Structure formats: C-alpha cells, structure tokens
Amino acid sequence: MPDSKFKAFVFDAYGTLFDVHSVIEKCNELFPGKGETISRVWRQKQLEYSFLRQLMGRYTTFLEITGDALRYACKDARAELSQNTEKELIDSYLKLKHYEETEEVLRKLQPYRTAIFSNGSLNMLTPLINQSPFAPLLDDVLSVDEVKQFKPTPMSYQLVLEKMEVRREEVLFMSSNTWDIAGAASFGFHTAWINRQGREMDQLGIKPHYEYEDLRGILEHVK
C-alpha cells in the first residue's frame, strides 16, 4: 500500500480539472464581443439551476440543465440562439480545456486510487474525459446521476464511499468550487480547495483542510 493516510484522491471536474470558461472562445466566435458575459452567466445559471432543482425535488440531468442555462444566458445577452449554434456551444462543453498541470499530477498519483466525482452526467463526462490525455490515469468516473442527488447534498458524497469502498477519512477531495468544498468537508472528507483565482472562502462556518493555488499542491500528501 502506498505511504499516505489517503487511499482515494477524488477530483471535481468542472473548474478543478477542466476550465469551464474555455468556452469563451466559441461564444465569441458565434456572438462577437459577448463571449465573456455569456460564459459567466451560463456557468452561474448552470449551478443555480442544479441547486434549485435539488431543493424543489425536480431532478434532471446536468446536460439538460446546461442547455437550459445556456438558453437563459443567450437571452440575457440578447444573443439569438439557433438550434445549430446551441449545438455548437453544448458541444464545446464536451471539449473543455484541461488545466495544464492535471496530467502531471494524476501520473504522480498512480499508486493511489483516483476518481472524478461530478454533478455532470455521464453523457457529458465521458466525451469530455475521453478527449483528454489523462483518461487512462483515472480509476473511476462517478456521476451524481446514479443517485439523482446533486452535490452538495450528503447523499451525493455517499456514492464515493460505496463505489470506491473507502471510509470518509480515507478520501482527499479536491474542488475549486467553495460550495463543493463545504459540502464535502461537512460530509467528513478531507478537502483541498484549489483556489486558482485567489478568492475568499464562503462564510459557512466550514473551512477546507488544505488550500492550494493549483493541483500540484496536493502532491505533498504523496510520500
């Protein structure tokens, strides 16, 4: 067994391994000058709709939510969205750019169990991960779609324990999203906040166990 207190290194996908705002380029190509605004609102509504649907008990896949959020963002930006442009933009979400250190870090974690755990449905995650160079370095790709409970509900994080056959304290969970870090820490995971933009942690009475500016920081837990 590798020499670490953690048996499983579990990563959020969007914003942690993959840059959600790499869609700006495609947004600007289709709607010149509006790319940054559309991308920002698209992501904002994507998260908001998942939280609201969880609270209302009206679950649908993250792919459906991503489409709904895109349609809102384009209406808000006064950008005419045809069926073809909608498909192009949704397809761009399946080809997000990964952060440059991701493959290096996953290679150095090879003696350990590694997984992605995401709100994304598998019909989003599978093409996204398969087009990356690090797909073979992951042991598991876990989607909340299996339990139909979006993060940060406790029931969603339970999926990691069941699928990876580990205890809560044996998991190091990485995310760039503060709400995800709060949810995972509340559930009992050790957490590493990947704070790429140098932001402040949300005031929820919960702090990450570790904070790093990129994924390389977690390698201090690998001996």
Catalytic residues: 12
DSSP letters for 166-188:
--GGGEEEEES-HHHHHHHHHHT
Q: Is 78 exposed, middle or buried (0-12, 13-18, 19+ CB in 10 A)?
A: exposed
Name, in order, each residue with C-beta under 8 angstroms of 150's C-beta and a sequence gap of 6 or more. 50, 51, 53, 54, 59, 119, 144, 156
Alpha-carbon gap, residue 179 to 172, rounded angstroms = 16
In whole angstroms, what separates CA 104 from the centre of its chain?
A: 19
Cβ(191)–Cβ(173) below 8 Å: yes
Edge-to-edge strands, sheet with 113-118: 140-143, 113-118, 8-11, 171-175, 190-194, 210-212
116 — phi, psi (to 5°)?
Answer: -100, 135
Alpha-carbon gap, residue 154 to 135, rounded angstroms = 27
